[in-house]
Amino acid sequence: MEIQKVGVVGAGQMGSGIAHVFSLAGYDVLLNDVSADNLDKAQALISANLDRQVSRDKITESQKNDALGRITTTLKLPDLGQSDLVIEAATERETIKTAIFEDLQPHLLPHTILTSNTSSISITRLASRTDRPEKFMGFHFMNPVPIMQLVELIRGIATDAQTFDACLKVVEKLGKTSATAEDFPAFIVNRILMPMINEAIYTLYEGVGSVKSIDTSMKLGANHPMGPLELADFIGLDTCLAIMNVLHDGLADTKYRPCPLLTKYVEAGWLGRKTDRGFYDYRGDVPVPTR
């Protein structure tokens, strides 16, 4: 099946990035969100990021204009039913994702492939709540989408070969690299990354090191481009906690127990960059550690 029309659910950081790369690769993109303000912000962000690519000679002005012309927006979820491929990029909560697929289902074309950008939730379980588990799989992009080269492809227990092959071809057309993961909690990247971040938070919680010393140690001692606490703020502490809870619940191993300090920050609403405070305070000219 030739995929031409792509529907993206959710116009946040991930959804806007996904719309960006698909439109630039020549796909017609319909971007949906429950908020008109979010859709306006997404279009402005996509335009700014395309401008940045033009300024760095990654793309031409003509390519930018063509990409922007391929993106349309809608507040009505059923409008995405005419897509060949739907990518759900909503909040990392299973109840929300399930509700989206259930609301979308009556409007889908028979051949439409459903995918989720979930970073941790069971693909098999999400697929089982639809009328097409064989045409459902995980399509996990990394943040920021226009820059990161990896896409995790996750098959549920019912995903058929045609669906997997179609999504694999899409990844190739996007100019990205795929990694195939089995449908276990958090897949590959977050199964490895999140426990490291969680352990860094435990290191802070137990007073082994300060925010600055922990991040400096991993940047200079392990050659990481960002420290783990800085990275957690970038990802969003609520997302980090959600993934750790999925790992803890799904694998029933105490080594995945979320650090109480991570829970406390989320309870305070200090979620990282998106709220201007997390392990760093971003309200000034320079980020300042909060501990």
- Of 16, 38, 116, 190, the active-site residue reads 190
Instruction: Return the SS3 of 156.
Output: coil
Instruction: Return the SS3 of 46.
Output: helix
Closest CA to 136 of 119, 103, 111: 111
> Is 2 part of the annotated catalytic residue set?
no
- Of 140, 178, 198, 230, the active-site residue reads 140
> Is 152 part of the annotated catalytic residue set?
yes
- Of 49, 116, 119, 178, the active-site residue reads 119
- Of 94, 152, 178, 198, the active-site residue reads 152
> Is 223 part of the annotated catalytic residue set?
no
Dist CA 45 CA 286 (whole Å):
22
> Is 83 part of the annotated catalytic residue set?
no
Dist CA 283 CA 285 (whole Å):
7
Backbone φ/ψ region at 116: left (φ over 0), alpha (ψ -120 to 50), beta: beta
Q: Could you please report the per-residue DSSP string of 34-75?
A: S-HHHHHHHHHHHHHHHHHHHHTTSS-HHHHHHHHHTEEEES
What secondary structure letter does DSSP report for 106? G
CA 170 to chain CA mean position, Å:
17
Name the residue type at position 107: H
Q: Which of the residues are catalytic?
A: 119, 140, 152, 190
